[in-house]
Amino acid sequence: MSRNLSGYSLTLAMALAGVTSIVQAADLAIAKQADNEQIERGRYMVKTGHCNNCHTAGFANSEGQMPEEKWLLGSGAQGWRGPWGTTYASNLRINVHAMSETQWVDYVKSMKTRPPMPFWSTAATTPQDLAAMYKYIKQLGSAGEPGRQYLPPDQEPKPPFIQYPMPVK
Ligand code: HEC
Protein backbone atom coordinates (compact mmCIF):
# COMPACT_ATOMS: atom_id res chain seq x y z
CA MET A 1 0.00 0.00 0.00
CA SER A 2 2.69 2.44 1.03
CA ARG A 3 4.73 1.37 -1.98
CA ASN A 4 1.73 2.05 -4.22
CA LEU A 5 1.23 5.41 -2.64
CA SER A 6 4.82 6.48 -3.14
CA GLY A 7 4.65 5.20 -6.71
CA TYR A 8 1.58 7.33 -7.15
CA SER A 9 3.30 10.40 -5.65
CA LEU A 10 6.25 9.85 -7.96
CA THR A 11 3.99 9.70 -11.02
CA LEU A 12 2.21 12.81 -9.83
CA ALA A 13 5.52 14.60 -9.24
CA MET A 14 6.68 13.63 -12.73
CA ALA A 15 3.42 14.78 -14.25
CA LEU A 16 3.68 18.09 -12.39
CA ALA A 17 7.28 18.54 -13.52
CA GLY A 18 6.10 17.92 -17.08
CA VAL A 19 3.35 20.53 -16.73
CA THR A 20 5.84 23.01 -15.23
CA SER A 21 8.25 22.64 -18.13
CA ILE A 22 5.40 23.00 -20.64
CA VAL A 23 4.31 26.19 -18.85
CA GLN A 24 7.91 27.45 -18.81
CA ALA A 25 8.32 26.73 -22.51
CA ALA A 26 5.06 28.54 -23.23
CA ASP A 27 6.22 31.52 -21.13
CA LEU A 28 9.48 31.61 -23.08
CA ALA A 29 7.63 31.46 -26.38
CA ILE A 30 5.37 34.33 -25.28
CA ALA A 31 8.40 36.40 -24.14
CA LYS A 32 10.15 35.72 -27.47
CA GLN A 33 7.06 36.74 -29.39
CA ALA A 34 6.80 39.97 -27.34
CA ASP A 35 10.49 40.71 -28.04
CA ASN A 36 9.99 40.14 -31.77
CA GLU A 37 7.00 42.47 -31.80
CA GLN A 38 9.01 45.16 -29.98
CA ILE A 39 11.93 44.78 -32.40
CA GLU A 40 9.53 45.07 -35.33
CA ARG A 41 8.04 48.22 -33.79
CA GLY A 42 11.58 49.60 -33.25
CA ARG A 43 12.46 49.00 -36.91
CA TYR A 44 9.31 50.84 -37.96
CA MET A 45 10.07 53.76 -35.60
CA VAL A 46 13.66 54.08 -36.88
CA LYS A 47 12.49 53.91 -40.49
CA THR A 48 9.66 56.40 -40.22
CA GLY A 49 11.41 58.60 -37.60
CA HIS A 50 14.07 59.54 -40.20
CA CYS A 51 16.99 58.45 -37.99
CA ASN A 52 18.80 56.83 -40.93
CA ASN A 53 18.63 59.98 -43.03
CA CYS A 54 21.31 61.50 -40.80
CA HIS A 55 22.71 58.65 -38.68
CA THR A 56 23.52 56.35 -41.64
CA ALA A 57 26.24 57.52 -44.04
CA GLY A 58 24.99 57.64 -47.64
CA PHE A 59 21.39 56.73 -46.74
CA ALA A 60 19.75 59.87 -48.14
CA ASN A 61 21.90 59.74 -51.30
CA SER A 62 20.80 56.15 -51.89
CA GLU A 63 17.15 57.19 -51.36
CA GLY A 64 16.86 54.69 -48.54
CA GLN A 65 18.23 51.73 -50.49
CA MET A 66 20.76 50.54 -47.94
CA PRO A 67 20.88 47.16 -46.20
CA GLU A 68 20.08 47.11 -42.49
CA GLU A 69 23.57 45.95 -41.55
CA LYS A 70 24.74 49.49 -42.47
CA TRP A 71 22.03 51.31 -40.51
CA LEU A 72 22.79 53.76 -37.69
CA LEU A 73 26.59 53.46 -37.73
CA GLY A 74 26.80 57.28 -37.88
CA SER A 75 27.07 59.94 -40.56
CA GLY A 76 30.74 59.03 -41.10
CA ALA A 77 32.70 61.85 -42.74
CA GLN A 78 29.54 63.85 -43.46
CA GLY A 79 29.14 66.92 -41.22
CA TRP A 80 26.65 69.77 -40.78
CA ARG A 81 28.20 73.19 -40.41
CA GLY A 82 26.44 76.30 -39.14
CA PRO A 83 26.67 78.96 -36.44
CA TRP A 84 26.91 76.12 -33.87
CA GLY A 85 30.09 74.69 -35.40
CA THR A 86 30.18 71.34 -37.23
CA THR A 87 28.20 68.35 -35.98
CA TYR A 88 28.26 64.70 -36.97
CA ALA A 89 25.32 62.34 -36.42
CA SER A 90 26.59 59.79 -33.92
CA ASN A 91 26.88 56.05 -34.24
CA LEU A 92 23.68 55.11 -32.36
CA ARG A 93 24.78 51.48 -31.98
CA ILE A 94 27.59 52.69 -29.70
CA ASN A 95 25.03 54.65 -27.67
CA VAL A 96 22.71 51.70 -27.09
CA HIS A 97 25.57 49.31 -26.32
CA ALA A 98 26.87 51.73 -23.68
CA MET A 99 23.46 52.17 -22.01
CA SER A 100 20.76 50.10 -20.37
CA GLU A 101 17.28 50.38 -21.87
CA THR A 102 16.17 52.69 -19.03
CA GLN A 103 19.24 54.88 -19.42
CA TRP A 104 18.58 55.21 -23.17
CA VAL A 105 14.93 56.15 -22.64
CA ASP A 106 15.85 58.74 -19.97
CA TYR A 107 18.69 60.13 -22.09
CA VAL A 108 16.67 60.53 -25.27
CA LYS A 109 13.75 62.05 -23.33
CA SER A 110 15.93 64.73 -21.72
CA MET A 111 18.83 65.39 -24.13
CA LYS A 112 19.44 68.73 -25.82
CA THR A 113 21.75 68.41 -28.80
CA ARG A 114 23.12 70.79 -31.39
CA PRO A 115 21.50 71.08 -34.85
CA PRO A 116 20.31 69.51 -37.04
CA MET A 117 19.27 66.73 -34.58
CA PRO A 118 15.51 67.18 -33.96
CA PHE A 119 15.74 66.36 -30.23
CA TRP A 120 12.27 67.80 -29.56
CA SER A 121 10.79 65.05 -31.76
CA THR A 122 12.64 62.22 -30.01
CA ALA A 123 11.70 63.75 -26.62
CA ALA A 124 8.02 63.53 -27.67
CA THR A 125 8.33 59.80 -28.46
CA THR A 126 6.70 57.51 -25.86
CA PRO A 127 8.97 55.53 -23.49
CA GLN A 128 7.47 52.34 -25.00
CA ASP A 129 8.50 53.34 -28.52
CA LEU A 130 11.94 54.47 -27.36
CA ALA A 131 12.39 51.10 -25.61
CA ALA A 132 11.38 49.36 -28.86
CA MET A 133 13.97 51.43 -30.77
CA TYR A 134 16.58 50.46 -28.19
CA LYS A 135 15.82 46.74 -28.63
CA TYR A 136 15.86 47.09 -32.41
CA ILE A 137 19.15 49.03 -32.55
CA LYS A 138 20.83 46.69 -30.07
CA GLN A 139 20.09 43.57 -32.12
CA LEU A 140 21.60 45.23 -35.23
CA GLY A 141 24.87 43.97 -33.81
CA SER A 142 28.43 45.22 -33.60
CA ALA A 143 28.75 48.74 -32.24
CA GLY A 144 31.32 49.81 -34.88
CA GLU A 145 33.56 52.86 -34.77
CA PRO A 146 32.75 56.30 -33.35
CA GLY A 147 32.40 58.96 -36.04
CA ARG A 148 34.10 62.34 -36.35
CA GLN A 149 33.98 64.62 -33.32
CA TYR A 150 32.10 67.89 -33.06
CA LEU A 151 34.11 70.97 -34.11
CA PRO A 152 33.56 74.43 -32.60
CA PRO A 153 32.61 77.30 -34.97
CA ASP A 154 36.17 78.64 -35.36
CA GLN A 155 37.48 75.32 -36.73
CA GLU A 156 37.36 74.52 -40.41
CA PRO A 157 35.90 71.03 -41.02
CA LYS A 158 37.21 68.62 -43.63
CA PRO A 159 34.77 68.05 -46.50
CA PRO A 160 32.16 66.80 -47.05
CA PHE A 161 29.81 68.95 -45.00
CA ILE A 162 26.48 70.65 -45.49
CA GLN A 163 26.80 74.37 -44.92
CA TYR A 164 23.88 76.07 -43.17
CA PRO A 165 23.53 79.85 -43.54
CA MET A 166 25.85 81.72 -41.19
CA PRO A 167 24.48 84.60 -39.10
CA VAL A 168 24.74 88.06 -40.67
CA LYS A 169 27.52 90.02 -38.92
C1 HEC B 1 18.44 65.91 -39.51
C2 HEC B 1 19.45 64.95 -39.06
C3 HEC B 1 19.11 64.01 -37.92
C4 HEC B 1 18.00 63.20 -37.77
C5 HEC B 1 16.80 63.08 -38.69
C6 HEC B 1 18.21 62.46 -36.53
N7 HEC B 1 19.39 62.82 -35.94
FE8 HEC B 1 20.06 62.23 -34.12
N9 HEC B 1 21.67 63.48 -34.30
C10 HEC B 1 21.99 64.23 -35.41
C11 HEC B 1 23.23 64.96 -35.16
C12 HEC B 1 23.94 65.88 -36.13
C13 HEC B 1 23.61 64.64 -33.84
C14 HEC B 1 24.83 65.17 -33.08
C15 HEC B 1 24.39 66.45 -32.37
C16 HEC B 1 25.48 67.10 -31.54
O17 HEC B 1 26.68 66.88 -31.80
O18 HEC B 1 25.14 67.85 -30.61
C19 HEC B 1 22.61 63.71 -33.33
C20 HEC B 1 22.63 63.17 -32.05
C21 HEC B 1 21.74 62.20 -31.59
C22 HEC B 1 21.82 61.57 -30.29
C23 HEC B 1 22.84 61.88 -29.21
C24 HEC B 1 24.02 60.99 -29.41
C25 HEC B 1 25.10 61.15 -28.39
O26 HEC B 1 26.16 60.55 -28.63
O27 HEC B 1 24.92 61.80 -27.36
C28 HEC B 1 20.84 60.62 -30.25
C29 HEC B 1 20.55 59.65 -29.10
C30 HEC B 1 20.13 60.68 -31.50
N31 HEC B 1 20.71 61.66 -32.29
C32 HEC B 1 19.08 59.85 -31.83
C33 HEC B 1 18.32 59.99 -32.99
C34 HEC B 1 17.18 59.16 -33.30
C35 HEC B 1 16.69 58.01 -32.44
C36 HEC B 1 16.67 59.63 -34.48
C37 HEC B 1 15.45 59.15 -35.21
C38 HEC B 1 14.22 59.08 -34.44
C39 HEC B 1 17.51 60.74 -34.90
N40 HEC B 1 18.51 60.90 -33.99
C41 HEC B 1 17.32 61.50 -36.04
C42 HEC B 1 21.24 64.32 -36.56
C43 HEC B 1 19.99 63.75 -36.76
pLDDT in tens, the chain (169 residues): 555 666 677 677 777 787 788 888 888 888 888 889 999 999 999 999 999 999 999 999 999 999 999 999 999 999 999 999 999 999 999 999 999 999 999 999 999 999 999 999 999 999 999 999 999 999 999 888 899 999 999 999 999 999 998 776 6
State in Å: Cα 37 to ligand 1 middle: 24
Answer yes or no: is the C-beta of 94 below 6 A from any ligand 1 atom.
Answer: no
Residue 115 lies in a domain: yes
Answer yes or no: is the C-beta of 116 below 6 A from any ligand 1 atom.
Answer: yes
Q: In sequence order, what are the beta bridge partners of 161?
A: 79
Contact 55, 89 (CB under 8 A): yes
State in Å: Cα 137 to ligand 1 middle: 14
Number of structural domains in the chain: 1
Residue 33 lies in a domain: no
Residues 6+ apart with CB under 8 A from 167: 83
Give the model's pLDDT for residue 2. Answer: 54
Residue 53 lies in a domain: yes
The H or E element spanning position 86 is strand 85-87
Residue 11 lies in a domain: no
Residue 137 lies in a domain: yes
Q: In sequence order, what are the beta bridge partners of 163?
A: 81
- Identify which of 59, 73, 81, 90 to mutate to test ligand 1's pocket (most ligand atoms within 8 A of the CB): 90
Edge-first strand order for the sheet with 79-82 is 85-87, 79-82, 161-163
pTM above 0.85, yes or no: yes
Alpha helices, DSSP H, located in 100-142: 101-110, 119-123, 127-138
Residue 168 lies in a domain: no
Give the model's pLDDT for residue 18. Answer: 79
Residue 119 lies in a domain: yes
Give the model's pLDDT for residue 28. Answer: 84
Give the model's pLDDT for residue 166. Answer: 76
CA distances (Å), 80 to each of 62, 67, 149, 152, in order? 19, 24, 12, 12
Domain that holds residue 102: 47-163
- Identify which of 43, 45, 46, 55 to mutate to test ligand 1's pocket (most ligand atoms within 8 A of the CB): 55
Alpha helices, DSSP H, located in 71-115: 92-98, 101-110
Contact 126, 133 (CB under 8 A): no
The H or E element spanning position 80 is strand 79-82
Residue 30 lies in a domain: no
